[in-house]
Chain A
Amino acid sequence: MLGFVARRLLYLVPVLIAVSLLTFLIASLLPGDLAYTILGDQATPEKVAALRQEMGLDQPIWVRYFGWLGNILQGDLGRSFRTGQTVLQAVTERLPISLELMVLAQVIALAIGVPLAIICAARSGGPFDRFMTGTAFGMLSVPTFLSAILLIYLFAVELRWLPATGYVPFGEDPAKNLRFMVLPALTLALAEWPGIMRVLRSDMIATLQEDYIALAKAKGLKASRILFVHALKPSSLTLVTITGINIGRLIGGAVIVETVFALPGIGRLLVGAIATRDLIILQGVVLLVGAGFVLINFIVDMLYAMLDPRIRHGRA
């Protein structure tokens, strides 16, 4: 097991280097000169040249890349030329919001999707299964901004149970924080539970055809034990994968949801950085988000090995 973990960790190194390279290239190749952006279009060529030299922009791209990489390895991701805030400050300020949103959304989506999938698989082809499969298909095609607005209309405008927009840090007032988070998280979960349900349902149906399920029945085990112990675990590999992808995607923030509900998360930080051409923030945040994504995938691999001993022992 330890060797397996070490091997997987080793794979991360080239991936992270590739992520940093791509991030840097994309930011550098964007049209427009960073020095002009900072100084504004009234700047004199001398001033621009001076700033370029000061920032090292006149050096070849690979020198700049390794300089940037060297700084990162020392923990310095750079500093926004607009606000003066370092990348790390900006991210640590906003990441908890995006992470909280992501975790809540996943918990809600799994809490809806997994039980429904199990019930549908156990009674596949029945009326409940057909109804839920249809519903899930319908929900998949509802865009996030629409469900966000509908939820705001229902819970904030009509029922007045929850606030429509805004944010209070968790440390300040946990109860209030959760009230602000419920609707955004629900919006994301509504988009995700159908995928979870459909994937797990079809994997469960396939697993329930297996010989070992027939043997579990022949052993006289309770239906609940057959479903939850014998069938759920071998069926959940794809579920883990898509949950990992969902989480990875949401580390970069949920741009639409954060915008609609006015949550100051990573998504809005990124969009803001693009709008103001704050390249230092942009490349720093993209790098961190990319690293987070790679890390989540590493965790997914570890979960595979936990779920299926054949992967753990390097056989499948």
Chain B
Amino acid sequence: MTESTLLSIEDVIVDLPTPRGNLRAVDRVDLTVGAGRTLGVVGESGCGKTMLSRAILQLLPKKAKLSGRVMFDGQSLLQLSPEKLRKLRGRSLAVVFQDPMTSLNPVLTIGTQLIETLQEHLELDMRAATKRSVELLAAVGIPAPEQRLTQYPHQLSGGMRQRVAIAIALSCEPKLLIADEPTTALDVTIQAQILDLLAREQRRRHMAMILITHDLGVVAGRTDEVAVMYAGRVVERAPTPALFKKMRMPYTEALLAALPKIDAAPHTPLPAISGRPPDPTRPLKGCSFSPRCRYAWAQCHVEKPRLEESDSPGHQFACFRPIDTSAGAGA
């Protein structure tokens, strides 16, 4: 843990009791994010990325059990009193959710939803909070911001709503922004705009960001480090350039192969990862990816590989049969 580490997660486990037994949504995850740095968390649906983000925010479902250590800005979040945690949330730890259609309150105006956050944490009076809200809306690229304040979420398009959600998240100048699939629910044409907006504001405000996505392409040019998650675990973690230069875990390779390529010939079939992730209530003995992995051999089915450092600095992976694929070559 260096001086500039803002968030460090150690040995975090999230267990969800279900009628079919215990579901381990997050399984012994270690991650760190430095101040002003960006971390991409990548994985397919159900791999535990959202539960991990909720664990950091302490917004897990009531029945969920969380263990491990979450250190944020020198404080252990798991030991914080509810009141101190509340003062932290929205102030120095902010979040943008996946679906802007459901994450804004339908019966409150945009202005109310922005101003209440500002007034809660920054003790601004109504006039100052209103002025700052207009500035924030303008900063996230919303035209005619003064008029938006009195509008309701349903009067805005999906992309505009996500911009409002980002404005809310940025409102108190957080030290860390968690963006949980911020573009998944949006039109493709809007996705790049929103991602660029997040990247721009992140740099401008020197704030750290965790960008959660299922799309390796999204993290490619926009993050300093990438963690690939599968079945609740981090299976590969590396500085972004190093990862795309040399990916070691077959799952990462498969994720990359599943992306459409701009230079592919028309009607080229898109390679999908065959099979489904394992049932999280019935953990496998071996590597979770082994049933779907085309490189798997006997050892992979009986023993769980640990996340270990490779020859390249900062590059870790959990695999007995690492590959050596560069993003340029494809899979």
The answer to whether A and B assemble together is yes
A interface, CB within 8 angstroms of B: 210-212, 214-222, 225, 229-230, 233-234, 307-310, 313, 315-316
Docked CA distance A212–B152 (Å): 13
Identify the stretch in B93-101, B208-216, B251-259, B265-273 within 8 Å (CB) of chain A at 4 or more residues: B93-101
Are A313 and B155 in contact, with the CB atoms below 8 A?
Answer: yes
Are A214 and B59 in contact, with the CB atoms below 8 A?
Answer: yes
17 new A-B pairs (CB below 8 Å) besides A212-B104, A214-B97, A225-B116?
Answer: A210-B102, A211-B103, A214-B103, A217-B89, A218-B59, A218-B95, A220-B117, A220-B120, A220-B121, A222-B120, A225-B120, A230-B108, A308-B106, A309-B152, A310-B106, A310-B154, A315-B154
Are B89 and A220 in contact, with the CB atoms below 8 A?
Answer: yes
B321 within 8 A of A: no
Docked CA distance A309–B57 (Å): 30
Q: Report chain A residues within 8 Å CB of B155.
A: 313
Are A211 and B102 in contact, with the CB atoms below 8 A?
Answer: yes
Say how far B112's CB is from chain A's closest CB, in angstroms: 8
Within 8 A of A (CB), among B67-123: 86-91, 94-95, 97, 99, 102-108, 116-117, 120-121
Say how far B303's CB is from chain A's closest CB, in angstroms: 38
Are A212 and B99 in contact, with the CB atoms below 8 A?
Answer: no
Closest A residue to B92 using CB positions: A220
Contact A309-B102, Cβ < 8 Å, known A215-B95, A218-B89, A220-B86: no
Give 10 nearest A-B pairs by CB, closest first. Answer: A220-B90, A219-B90, A220-B89, A211-B102, A309-B152, A212-B105, A211-B103, A218-B95, A219-B117, A233-B107
Docked CA distance A211–B154 (Å): 15
Docked CA distance A233–B113 (Å): 14
Closest B residue to A309 using CB positions: B152
Are B106 and A212 in contact, with the CB atoms below 8 A?
Answer: yes
Are A218 and B57 in contact, with the CB atoms below 8 A?
Answer: yes
Docked CA distance A46–B125 (Å): 85
B165 within 8 A of A: yes
A-B contact pairs, 23 of them (CB 8 A): A211-B102, A212-B105, A214-B97, A215-B97, A215-B103, A215-B105, A216-B105, A218-B90, A218-B94, A219-B94, A219-B117, A221-B86, A221-B116, A221-B117, A225-B120, A233-B107, A234-B106, A307-B107, A308-B107, A309-B106, A309-B152, A313-B154, A315-B154
Q: Report chain B residues within 8 Å CB of A221.
A: 86, 90, 116-117, 120
Describe A's contact surface by its main secondary structure.
Answer: helix
Q: Report chain B residues within 8 Å CB of A308.
A: 106-107
Are B154 and A219 in contact, with the CB atoms below 8 A?
Answer: no
Say how far A180's CB is from chain B's closest CB, in angstroms: 40
Are B87 and A211 in contact, with the CB atoms below 8 A?
Answer: no
Say how far A236's CB is from chain B's closest CB, in angstroms: 10
Docked CA distance A308–B94 (Å): 27
Docked CA distance A131–B90 (Å): 35
Are A219 and B168 in contact, with the CB atoms below 8 A?
Answer: yes
Q: Report chain B residues within 8 Å CB of A222.
A: 86, 120
B interface, CB within 8 angstroms of A: 57, 59, 86-91, 94-95, 97, 99, 102-108, 116-117, 120-121, 152, 154-155, 165, 168
Q: Report chain B residues within 8 Å CB of A225.
A: 116, 120
Q: Report chain B residues within 8 Å CB of A214.
A: 59, 97, 103
Docked CA distance A215–B165 (Å): 9
Are B154 and A220 in contact, with the CB atoms below 8 A?
Answer: no
Q: Report chain A residues within 8 Å CB of B86.
A: 220-222
Are B104 and A215 in contact, with the CB atoms below 8 A?
Answer: yes
Docked CA distance A229–B154 (Å): 18
Q: Report chain B residues within 8 Å CB of A309.
A: 106-107, 152, 154
Are B89 and A234 in contact, with the CB atoms below 8 A?
Answer: no
Q: Report chain B residues within 8 Å CB of A234.
A: 105-107
Are A220 and B107 in contact, with the CB atoms below 8 A?
Answer: no
Docked CA distance A211–B97 (Å): 8
Q: Report chain A residues within 8 Å CB of B116.
A: 219, 221, 225, 229
Closest B residue to A232 using CB positions: B107
Contact A230-B105, Cβ < 8 Å, known A218-B90, A221-B90: yes
Q: Report chain A residues within 8 Å CB of B107.
A: 233-234, 307-309
Say how far A136's CB is from chain B's closest CB, in angstroms: 23
Are B97 and A217 in contact, with the CB atoms below 8 A?
Answer: no
Say how far B70's CB is from chain A's closest CB, in angstroms: 15
Q: Report chain B residues within 8 Å CB of A216.
A: 105
Are A219 and B120 in contact, with the CB atoms below 8 A?
Answer: yes
Are B99 and A220 in contact, with the CB atoms below 8 A?
Answer: no
Docked CA distance A214–B104 (Å): 10
Instruction: Among A219, A225, A234, A315, find the residue whose CB has the most chain B CB atoms closer than 10 A.
Output: A219
Docked CA distance A230–B90 (Å): 16
Docked CA distance A132–B303 (Å): 52
Docked CA distance A275–B168 (Å): 66
Docked CA distance A229–B89 (Å): 18
Docked CA distance A225–B113 (Å): 12
Say how far B171's CB is from chain A's closest CB, in angstroms: 9
Say how far A312's CB is from chain B's closest CB, in angstroms: 9
Q: Report chain A residues within 8 Å CB of B99.
A: 211
Say how far A142's CB is from chain B's closest CB, in angstroms: 33
Say how far A34's CB is from chain B's closest CB, in angstroms: 53
Say how far B164's CB is from chain A's closest CB, in angstroms: 11
Closest A residue to B178 using CB positions: A218
Q: Report chain A residues within 8 Å CB of B105.
A: 212, 215-216, 230, 234
Are A219 and B89 in contact, with the CB atoms below 8 A?
Answer: yes
